[in-house]
Amino acid sequence: MSGDEPARDEALPPGRRDTRRRAVVTLLLCALLAAWLLTAYWQTVKPLPPGTDLASPWYPARDSSVRFLADVRAADAYGRPLPSEVIYAQTLEVVRNARDFIVLDSRLSAELADELIARRRAEPGLRVLLITDPASVWHGRSPRADLRRLRTAGVEVVTADLDRLRDSNFLYSSLWRIALSWWGDDSRIGAWARFINFKSDHRRLIVADDGRGGLVGIVSSANAVRGDAAPSSVALEVRGPVLDRLLASEIAVARFSGWSGVLRVRGAASAQTLSEQPRPPGLGTGPVAVRLLTEGAIREALLERIGAAGRGDSIDAAVFAISDRAIIEALLAASSRGATVRLILDPGAEDADSGGAAGVPNRPASSELVAASDGAISVRWFRTHGERFRDALVLVYGPERVWLTLGSASLTRRDLENYDLEADLAANAARSSDLAAETIGYFETLWSNRAPPGVELTADVGVYADASQLDYWWYRFTEATGLASY
């Protein structure tokens, strides 16, 4: 029967043959379009993997068990860098004190890789689990040498399976999943095809035993690196039961990324139920309480706290990027209710040097915030010198208490809407606590340029203002479609 089809086709008049072929082509194109649209829809609404989008209960903590850490990169009047390596030094301290286990979720510097290898040699029974972004593995045509060295030294290296997450860049991601994902990541084409899918493991943290029967962890806004190009960043060092929840989340990420090992840590982490709903805060008059927030739960917590701010309250944010529409609208609404809103942002000056779009999204977004609030919202720019301002700190406070969130998530759609792996710690602290004094004091230091003579930490909004409608609508378009790389 099939052999008669070509003859039948040839027997048709030319016009009928063309119509039939166009119908076949149209049917195929419609089928491809349907597959693309269905893939795009599913990959934006599919269930999230275990260990993600978590909001833990609040855990009471001693003021001394939650420490604020900051690296402020600056330059003197002659342009000479003023180094700051507080977070890196404290991360090394955690590594050097560990006896039983270390769990790291980060991109590693060569120096930190050396420290892990040295610690493994000094403590042969030490278990080290490293969860890292795929970009650390498929950089170029072969795995990075420091990851190979870590594996050789007995470190368990797990590449986060980001394909399990939802897709922000749906215009490209569905095409990538259908036609390009089968290219091997060890090929240049496959690596770049995955890279422009815009999906990352942004979690930047370490959890380990403290060598004395307890746990210690650091959740940071940037990877622990050193050198002139290291970014300005902030971190929280914590101790206490909130780390059980953080460990449980990290183990779940390792599991859905293919890790099948066993990490026994006092039994608490494995016993946690990741689907447990957060209990009411119940903070009472305690000095500090902390909770874990990951991925989309960070956005929900931010919107709740910003939405409750009004006259007599302050909202201070020092962040790498801001573009999420719900956050921007919430800040404008809080300002209209009488809350004081101040932002310190990265100016994106390095983007212009590299041929990119200078200052997008921060410059057009900040211009919108200032203009739409009639100047009630204030913005300053961190003075970068070849590095980036990688802070991710939001403070909401009144006369009695300070609520803050700190970690890896910037105020962007990718970071806050379950598209990338993110981890923050939230804290609710009395204004009399050390944590409140340190975090508010840090922001005031940057805002008011409390620095040695000749050192300028931040600049007025007018230095990098951008009221360009082209830049504004470009950032709005790329944010809405997922084409934004931030």
Structural domain boundaries of the chain?
Answer: 14-45, 59-256, 283-481
**104-113, 344-353, 477-486: least confidently modelled range:** 344-353
**Pair 48, 167: CB distance under 8 Å:** no
| pLDDT of the residue at 271 | 36
| pLDDT of the residue at 10 | 59
pLDDT average, residue stretch 246-262: 95
Indicate the pLDDT class of residue 264, thresholds 50, 70 and 90: confident
Whole-number average pLDDT of the chain: 87
| pLDDT of the residue at 102 | 97
Q: Confirm whether 59-256 and 283-481 share one CATH topology.
A: yes
| pLDDT of the residue at 14 | 65
pLDDT in tens, 44-68: 899 999 999 999 999 999 999 999 9
Strands (E), 133-177: 156-159
CATH class as words, domain 59-256: alpha beta
- Write the DSSP assignment of 19-72 as a string of letters: HHHHHHHHHHHHHHHHHHHHHHHHHHHSPPPTT-S-BPPPEEE-GGGEEEEEE-
| pLDDT of the residue at 9 | 56
Full strand arrangement of the beta sheet holding 233-238: 66-71, 233-238, 215-220, 205-209, 101-105, 127-132, 156-159
| pLDDT of the residue at 138 | 56
The answer, yes or no, to whether residue 1 has pLDDT greater than 50, is no
**134-143, 202-211, 435-444: least confidently modelled range:** 134-143
pTM: 0.90
pLDDT in tens, 114-164: 999 999 999 999 999 999 998 876 554 445 788 889 999 999 999 999 999
pLDDT average, residue stretch 32-46: 88
Right CATH for 283-481 from 3.30.70.3460, 3.30.1280.10, 3.30.870.10, 1.10.1740.10 = 3.30.870.10
The more confidently predicted of residues 82 and 372 is 372
